[in-house]
């Protein structure tokens, strides 16, 4: 299939980013450079953090069993994947306003799930959310990739860390709001208002120009021997992340007797440790090979998933989810960076878009998979399967991708 790529140009750099030396100043400079995309990452984190901590109350509110809840999320994934595939067209049509408009669409969609009372209305509401979230996800990752090419610095880990921080804060805040007696409708309305503020930042910050010129269009023939294993690494990372986000609170409350705030601490710990891991990844991105980082990260995350699955107490489960978060945090950003280095500059956007379509399916496969496994075998088994899948990255996918990298190097 012929895929057309746009060489990005950048507009609106009317002031200079913070200058200075040291790690903290470098992080601030990188955040300033990518502040428009970072607002999009934060908005996505706001919704999914709030939703993760609301699963134990939304599921009975709409009257769905574990398996039915998984089916509902699986149905919504179909529209989300379609939206991701068409995201470049949406970004091109919206131009400079793309990130702001897509953030606004997600804010509006966020209002819907909390008002639902049946499985059908919940599925339709979540379909709106996942389509808006999926389109924004692809668009903001493409913008970060274009910025990386322009400034010659790694920015992907930092922006994914912004998502994790927003996710953790909103998961914890939602747990406390539930303890205070607020329901899903009120909590998600507050989340939508916060996204509205982030939309203003996305609109105000300079972003890639979406105008297209015929001379800048090229066809990108890229082998699936590169795209498929790279996309599968991202898929397993995102699937593990989203499965834990969506089901850890329910697991802690149902299996280990946690209260609302204690249950929300599960996804919150995941978000916090993922933020820490990604900030560390931003620092070491130019010092350690992506292959080595992904190998150790996937093994660490797999161990964490297995610990959480077999945890006899809340403390052990928290430890497992924390270890899983530290490991899984850098897998996707490092895979993006590795594949980006293995393709010519003019083909990078196409490569990112294609592995995103494969990888982001993990966000939507994870929750239904957890639902099906939980229905038949229990949530402990579900998390154990997630751990095994994480081990498969090191055992199966890394050797394939490494072989391709060695062939290109040769």
Token pair 């075998």 is at which residue? 377
CATH code that applies to domain 22-210+220-409? 1.20.1250.20
Token pair 């007797």 is at which residue? 257
Between 234-243, 353-362, 390-399, the lowest mean confidence (pLDDT) is in 353-362
pLDDT, tens digit (0-9, with 9 covering 90-100), for 210-243 = 333 333 434 445 677 778 888 899 999 988 887 8
Mean pLDDT of 11-17: 45
Q: Using alpha carbons, select from 11, 44, 31, 35 the residue that is nearest to residue 210.
A: 11
Helix axis angle, 348-377 relative to 379-392, nearest 10°? 150
Q: pTM for the full model? A: 0.75
- 168, 117 Cβ separation under 8 angstroms: no
Count H helices and E strands in the chain, helices first. Answer: 15, 4
Q: Reply yes or no on whether the pLDDT at 8 is more than 80.
A: no
Q: What is the pLDDT of residue 158?
A: 86
Q: What is the pLDDT of residue 147?
A: 81
Q: Using alpha carbons, select from 69, 46, 356 the residue that is nearest to residue 172.
A: 46
Quickly state the pLDDT bin for 313 (edges 50, 70, 90).
very high
Mean pLDDT of 188-213: 76
For 83, 95, 198, 272, the CA distances from 170, given in Å and listed in that order, are 25, 30, 14, 11
Q: Reply yes or no on whether the pLDDT at 208 is more than 50.
A: no
How far, in Å, CA of 264 to CA of 51, rounded? 10
pLDDT higher for 332 or 138? Answer: 332
Q: What is the pLDDT of residue 129?
A: 93
Q: In the chain, where are the structural domains located? A: 22-210+220-409
Quickly state the pLDDT bin for 393 (edges 50, 70, 90).
very high
Quickly state the pLDDT bin for 142 (edges 50, 70, 90).
confident
Percent of the chain whose pLDDT exceeds 70: 85
Q: What is the pLDDT of residue 61?
A: 92
């Amino acid at each position: 299939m012929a895929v057309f790529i746009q060489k990005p140009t950048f507009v609106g750099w009317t002031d200079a980013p913070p200058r200075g030396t040291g790690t903290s100043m470098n992080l601030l400079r990188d955040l300033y450079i990518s502040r428009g995309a970072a607002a999009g990452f934060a908005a996505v984190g706001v919704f999914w953090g709030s939703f993760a901590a609301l699963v134990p109350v939304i599921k009975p509110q709409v009257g769905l069993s574990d398996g039915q809840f998984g089916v509902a999320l699986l149905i919504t994934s179909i529209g989300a994947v379609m939206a991701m595939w068409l995201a470049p067209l949406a970004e091109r049509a919206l131009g400079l306003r793309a990130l702001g408009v897509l953030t606004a669409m997600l804010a509006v969609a966020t209002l819907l799930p909390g008002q639902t009372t049946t499985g059908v209305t919940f599925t339709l509401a979540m379909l709106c959310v996942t389509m808006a979230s999926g389109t924004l996800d692809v668009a903001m990752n493409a913008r970060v990739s274009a910025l990386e090419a322009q400034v010659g610095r790694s920015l992907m880990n930092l922006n994914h860390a912004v998502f994790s921080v927003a996710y953790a804060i909103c998961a914890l805040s939602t747990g406390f709001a539930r303890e205070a007696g607020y329901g899903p409708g009120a909590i998600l309305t507050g989340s939508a208002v916060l996204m509205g503020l982030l939309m203003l930042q996305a609109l105000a910050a300079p972003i890639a120009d979406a105008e297209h010129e015929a001379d800048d269009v090229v066809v990108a023939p890229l082998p699936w021997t590169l795209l498929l294993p790279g996309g599968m690494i991202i898929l397993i990372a995102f699937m593990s992340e989203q499965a834990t986000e969506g089901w850890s609170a329910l697991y802690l409350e149902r299996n280990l007797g946690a209260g609302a705030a204690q249950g929300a601490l599960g996804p919150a710990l995941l978000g916090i440790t993922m933020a820490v891991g990604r900030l560390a990844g931003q620092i070491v991105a130019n010092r350690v090979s992506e292959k080595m980082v992904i190998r150790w990260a996937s093994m660490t995350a797999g161990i964490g998933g297995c610990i959480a699955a077999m945890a006899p107490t809340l403390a052990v489960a928290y430890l497992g989810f924390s270890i899983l978060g530290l490991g899984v945090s850098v897998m996707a950003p490092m895979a993006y960076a590795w594949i980006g280095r293995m393709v010519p500059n003019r083909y990078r956007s196409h490569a990112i878009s294609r592995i995103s379509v494969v990888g982001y399916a993990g966000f939507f496969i994870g929750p239904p998979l957890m639902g099906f496994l939980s229905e038949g075998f229990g949530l402990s088994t579900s998390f154990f399967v997630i751990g095994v899948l994480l081990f498969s990255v090191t055992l199966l996918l890394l050797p394939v991708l490494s072989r391709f990298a060695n062939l290109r190097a040769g």
